[in-house]
């Protein structure tokens, strides 16, 4: 099983879009996937048509100890389960402040889940912050994927991300590594995007060999700007169901193929898509 934390403390970089479409794309390839929504905004849940309302149990109930992940997860599509979130999760930062081992609650919950319900992938969509929810994801995951918009200021914020992963690896999770960087909202016609990518490659090459991000892969697949990616959440669908012929679907299909190639050692066949139509 691969456990992946999708994180970036900067908002608007494609984190939730990537979490949802990565999970959906892997499920389309027949992998059993559980997407855990750790953002109090609940956007990953809504993106897949899972609305946590009324008495619907959420990840908040898991972290507060009243439910298990098996009791909370919902089937959103073939091979794809979602653990939803809602605004109650925002209280977790305060409620867990004095709880012993608060950084390890999610890890214990996931370990119990996979004993009963084996998954091929656990994907965690983190909030745009580096608080207790993100730390729980980092102690649970083996891998970190960082969606990054190729802008100068976005690149500057990566140092804090890397510091956090190094701290968690040293103190709480020795298996943690930054394994992938995903360039989102990519504009192929601009020189800036290419320059930022070159800067990032140089930074990784010059990193400390012991750093958890030293061997991070900058995925070849670039997630281009595409209006269909922005529209699909309002229909409660992944890009593969909402607009399978769009450039957004093609880009995420290519990303999924790259990820599966690292799993199997050979390039997987991409999700079938045709030439994109105009957005």
Query: Could you tell me what percent of the chain has a pLDDT over 90?
Result: 63
Per-residue pLDDT band at 262 (split at 50, 70, 90): confident
Strand partners for 122: 3, 34
Query: Could you tell me what percent of the chain has a pLDDT over 70?
Result: 93
Question: What pLDDT score was predicted for residue 105?
Answer: 96
Contacts 24+ apart (CB under 8 A), 51-57: 51/84, 52/84, 52/85, 52/86, 53/86, 56/84, 56/86
162 pLDDT above the threshold of 90? no
Question: What pLDDT score was predicted for residue 44?
Answer: 95
Question: What pLDDT score was predicted for residue 264?
Answer: 58
The matching CATH number, chosen from 3.40.50.2300, 3.40.30.10, 3.90.78.10, 3.40.50.300, for 2-141+227-264 is 3.40.50.300
211 pLDDT above the threshold of 60? yes
Q: Indicate the pairing of strand 177-183 with strand 217-218.
A: parallel
Domain chopping of the chain, boundaries: 2-141+227-264
Instruction: For residue range 103-161, list pLDDT tens digits in order.
Output: 999 999 999 999 989 999 999 999 988 889 999 999 999 999 999 988 776 677 777 88
Q: 210: how many CB neighbours lie within 10 A of its CB?
A: 8
pTM over 0.85: yes
């Amino acid at each position: 099983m691969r456990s992946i934390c999708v994180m970036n403390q900067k908002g608007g970089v494609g984190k939730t879009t990537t979490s949802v479409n990565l999970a959906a794309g892997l499920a389309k390839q027949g992998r059993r996937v559980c997407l855990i929504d750790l953002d109090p905004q609940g956007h990953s849940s809504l993106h897949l048509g899972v609305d946590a309302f009324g008495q619907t149990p959420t990840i908040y109930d898991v972290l507060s100890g009243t439910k298990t992940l098996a009791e909370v997860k919902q089937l959103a599509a073939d091979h794809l389960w979602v653990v939803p979130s809602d605004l109650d999760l925002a209280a977790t930062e305060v409620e867990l402040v004095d709880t012993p081992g608060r950084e390890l609650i999610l890890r214990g919950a996931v370990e119990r889940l996979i004993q009963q319900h084996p998954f091929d992938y656990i994907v965690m969509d983190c909030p745009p912050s580096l608080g207790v929810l993100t730390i729980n994801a980092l102690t649970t995951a083996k891998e970190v994927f960082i969606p990054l918009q190729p802008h100068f200021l976005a690149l500057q914020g990566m140092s804090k991300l890397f510091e956090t992963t190094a701290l968690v690896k040293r103190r709480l999770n020795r298996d943690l590594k930054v394994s992938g960087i995903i360039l989102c909202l990519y504009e192929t016609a601009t020189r800036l995007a290419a320059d930022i990518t070159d800067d990032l490659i140089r930074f990784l090459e010059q990193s400390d060999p012991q750093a958890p991000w030293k061997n991070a892969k900058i995925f070849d697949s670039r997630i281009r700007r595409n209006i269909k990616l922005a529209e699909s959440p309002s229909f409660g669908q992944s890009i593969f169901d909402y607009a399978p012929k769009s450039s957004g679907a093609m880009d995420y299909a290519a990303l999924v193929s790259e990820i599966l190639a690292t799993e199997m050692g050979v390039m997987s066949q991409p999700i079938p898509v045709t030439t994109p139509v105009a957005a």
